[in-house]
Amino acid sequence: MDDQRVTQIFGDGPDTWLATNRKLFRSDSSLRWTLRRHRERLIKVGALVLMRGAWFAVEPKFTRELLKIGRQEALDAVREAA
């Protein structure tokens, strides 16, 4: 098994995924919107799990997959503008 870490996404304190990745998502609502939109994809690739009623990121898969999603959205935006 590769080196994986499981980190709670939301919550109080500096140890949540969101707290350590504010450069990608500046607000809870921004990340929540992205998760609603891409939750199934993130679960299928093993990057997102639900435990005890809380969402957890499986790293490094979670961040890697979010960056893939962002890359695709950027390509789509460029194509629409052309």
Query: b/e map of 12-29 (b: 16 or more CB within 10 Å)?
Result: eeeebbbeebeeebeeee
Looking at residue 2, its pLDDT comes to 65
pLDDT at 26: 85
pLDDT of residue 3: 80
**pLDDT below 50 — which residues of the chain?**
none
- Integer angstrom CA distances of residue 34 from 1, 24, 70, 81: 28, 11, 10, 22
pLDDT score recorded for residue 15: 94
Residue 42 pLDDT: 98
What is this structure's pTM?
Answer: 0.88
Residue 40 domain boundaries: 5-81
CA angle 50, 54, 59 (to 5 degrees): 65
* 47 SS3 class: coil
> Total structural domains in the chain?
1
